[in-house]
Homo-oligomer: A and B are copies of this chain.
């Protein structure tokens, strides 16, 4: 995270207008608008700004305000979930519905079906009403009760839908592409001069959104990867020169693979997008390991080693480049290589992606999603827009979409966490 924006102005949140309505929440400790949490935690970094007469960069702290922008009496809200499923989406939906209802007395909440497609002129299914009764217990299951889809929709059409349905706040739960779309929606709303707030809840099982320390579902994913790694190890140690290969999530950032490696000491190789490796160096290290230890467990993030494969050139419906399948590539290369050596060997390939993505949130993520949903509602009610709810140094924060989307959080190969992965696996620091 080297290119962190150090410009304090980048942290300013767009607002719909002045907050003139007293909050109906009676007994909550309200957050003041001026409360901030510092980007930096090193005293020298902070002092540098003060010395130069500047404000150090800091996030607005999320939470309920004593004065709000929207009148609860006639506010109508919408929720949409986009992109791949991830543990905790239903928790967030439920938290938003319950907070709107119990904190602000709002009972007109609509769920758009199947992602942005549900906001288009011809939605696949009409929106559904979301009541406390409807969301009762939904967080005990994975997936999303609203359904999801990938890909953009016409921005004008979507704003038309919001206007037609008289939606005051739209909550969008989604990743990169979803947030870029939401930013465009906010711009179109501003162009039309509408009083519609859009609040993003960042969803990335990969935990790769900048300026946000933790994203929901990540902990559950690391926990759930234990089963696959266990299996890979059992298969590897039970065969002559047995190898277990596990593909985990991580398109651009290897956080799941790295933490799963630290959490499961059986892993012997951890391959992530941030650290290049060559086919030959990896395979010859692997061969050496088999000669010495007779088995190996390999964890590979889905975005690792893309440069080894021919570019597919294709993109998925969300506009993401369709990656080569590094799991299948490695499976094929390892097979071919060891068949040529004439060694006895066994290779078992495990791809637990869908199983992990469809898990319900674990208790850690459940609590996190609950508070995330609450804070999304508080932000919307206080007239914030074009922002996402973030998390920084134990505070929920308001982060402009443009800042959150400006770069991606990745593992620094010089960082201590990566050094610990190397120490834990014993793999060579360089395989080039």
A interface residues, Cβ below 8 angstroms from B: 27-29, 35-38, 41-44, 46-47, 50, 55-56, 58, 63, 85, 102-103, 114, 117, 124, 139, 141-144, 147-149, 213, 219, 222-223, 225-228, 230-232, 234-235, 237-240, 242, 244, 259-260, 262-265, 344, 348-352, 354-355, 357-359, 362-364, 366-367, 370-371, 374, 393-395, 414-416, 419-420, 422-424, 429
Contacts and interface: CB of A to CB of B under 8 A. Distances in A.
B147 A240 contact: yes
A416 B29 contact: yes
A115 B362 CA distance: 33
B238 A148 contact: yes
A260 B363 contact: yes
6 contacts: A29-B414, A36-B43, A46-B46, A142-B231, A149-B344, A264-B363
A240 B114 contact: yes
A146 B367 CA distance: 30
B27 A142 contact: no
A217 B240 CA distance: 23
A124 B242 CA distance: 13
Contact of A85 (B38, B149, B235, B394): B235
Contacts of A117: 240
A358 B416 contact: no
A367 B234 contact: no
Given A41-B38, A43-B55, A366 B234 contact: no
A262 B366 contact: yes
Q: Which of A223, A351, A355 has the most C-beta atoms of chain B within 10 angstroms of its own C-beta?
A: A355
Contacts of A263: 363-364, 366-367, 370
A25 to B, nearest CB: 9
A354 to B, nearest CB: 5
Nearest to A422: B27
Nearest to A295: B147
A410 B265 CA distance: 34
A344 B237 contact: no
Given A36-B43, A363-B223, A415-B29, A235 B358 contact: yes
Given A219-B364, A263-B367, A355 B38 contact: no
